[in-house]
Amino acid sequence: MQQKQVRVIEFFSGIGGLRSSYEHSSINISATFIPFDINEIANKIYSKNFKEEVQVKNLDSISIKQIESLNCNTWFMSPPCQPYNTSIMSKHKDINDPRAKSVLHLYRDILPFLINKPTHIFIENVPLFKESLVFKEIYNILIKNQYYIKDIICSPIDIGIPNSRTRYYVMARLTPFKNEIQLHQEEESMISNYLDDNVNESYYIPSDLILKKGMLFDIVGKDDKRTCCFTKSYTKIVEGTGSIYCPIESHFIPVKKAENLLNKNLRYFTPNEIKKIHGFSSEFTTQVDGITDKQQYQCLGNSVSCFVIAQLMEYLFSDIKE
C-alpha cells in the first residue's frame, strides 16, 4: 500500500475517543484529524485535550464540496446510537429516526460521489446497529463502492479490561484484508489498576440513597475483574448505568439487606477513573472549567473503549507501510 499520510475526518467526534484510540495504538503513522460535532460540552473537552477546534456543523446537511475540500483519506465515526437502542427513550425507530439522518446522508449522498473516497473507514455503534436497516443500506453502499469489510461485536472484558461495553465495530477499506481479526489480551485486568488516590468525599454514596436503592447497585471491589457498562446516566439513575466501588472489600460479597451496605464506604467511580477504564491516556482529562461531574459522566458514557478500538485500528491500517 502506498499511502503514508493519514488524514482523518472524525465525524461525531464527542470527546475524541476514536482519535485517542488511534493515537494510543501501535500504528506509527502520524495523523491529522478534523473533528465534527454539535455537542458544545464534548467539544470543549476535545479542544482542551487536542488543542484543536471542533467544527460545529450539523452533519445532516454537510456537502460533498465541504468534504472534498478537507482532502482526507480516512473516515472515523461513532454515529448516534439512539435509533437502534431498545430503551423507552429511543423507541428503536431505526431508519425512520431523525437521528439516523446524518449517518445516512454521509453514505447515501456523499461517499458515492466523492472523487477521492476514503481509503479506510472505522465505524463504532451498539450491537443492534448490525441488524438495522440503516446499516444494511450502508453495507450495500460500501460494497457497491468496492470496499472490503470486516466486522466484530466485542467488549473490553473480552480482552481482559474490567468493563463490559459490548459494541459493534465495522472496518472498511479499499484493499483486501489478508487475515482475520485477532484481539490480544491486555495486562491490567483488576479494578485496582484504574483507581485514583485520595478520592473526594462528594463521590461517596449518601446513606439515604443506600437505604432506598442500595440493593439495585452493582458493586465491585479492588481485585474484581469486571464493572458494568458506564452509561451517560451514571450517578443519575442507579440501576444498569454502571458499577460502584467498595474500597473495603477486595472482592465484593453481596449482602441480603440495604442496611448491611451502610458501613461499606461505597462510592461512585470518578470521571477520571472511568476515563482510565476506557483506555484514555493519563494526560487526557475531562475536567474543563465550567463542566460539571454529571456532564463529564454523560460525555464518558457516550464515548468508547480505546483499548478495544486501538487494536481494531491496527487491524484496519495493516495495509499501510510505516
Ligand X SMILES: C[S@@+](CC[C@H](N)C(=O)[O-])C[C@H]1O[C@@H](n2cnc3c(N)ncnc32)[C@H](O)[C@@H]1O
**Residues at the interface with ligand X (CB under 6 A):** 12, 14-18, 36-39, 42, 58-60, 78, 80-81, 102, 302-304
Pick the closer one to ligand X by CB: 36 or 217.
Answer: 36
Least Cβ distance, residue 19 to ligand X (angstroms) = 8
Residue 229 designated active-site: no
Closest CA to 266 of 314, 221, 225, 322: 221
Pick the closer one to ligand X by CB: 81 or 229.
Answer: 81
Lookup: cell for 241? 448505568
Least Cβ distance, residue 7 to ligand X (angstroms) = 18
Q: Is 279 left (phi over 0), alpha (psi -120 to 50) or beta?
A: left
Number of other residues whose CB lies within 10 A of the CB of residue 31: 18
Q: In what order do the strands lie in the sheet containing 6-11? A: 31-35, 6-11, 74-77, 120-125, 167-173, 148-154
Lookup: cell for 73? 483519506
Pick the closer one to ligand X by CB: 44 or 222.
Answer: 44
Amino acid at the residue 281: S
Least Cβ distance, residue 45 to ligand X (angstroms) = 8
Distant-in-sequence, close-in-space partners of 12: CB < 8 Å, separation ≥ 6: 36, 37, 59, 77, 78, 79, 80, 102
Pick the closer one to ligand X by CB: 42 or 246.
Answer: 42
Alpha-carbon span 159 to 185, nearest angstrom: 4
Pick the closer one to ligand X by CB: 11 or 245.
Answer: 11
Least Cβ distance, residue 90 to ligand X (angstroms) = 13
Lookup: cell for 67? 468534504
Least Cβ distance, residue 85 to ligand X (angstroms) = 11
Q: In what order do the strands lie in the sheet containing 267-268? A: 219-220, 244-245, 267-268
Backbone φ and ψ for 257, nearest 5 degrees, come out as -135, 150
Whether residue 276 contacts residue 162, with contact meaning beta carbons closer than 8 Å, is answered with: no
Alpha-carbon span 275 to 17, nearest angstrom: 10
Of 81, 246, 299, 306, the catalytic one is 81
Pick the closer one to ligand X by CB: 43 or 73.
Answer: 43
Distances in Å between the alpha carbon of 130 and those of 37, 88, 90, 173, 307? 23, 20, 17, 18, 21
Least Cβ distance, residue 209 to ligand X (angstroms) = 28
Catalytic residue ranges: 81
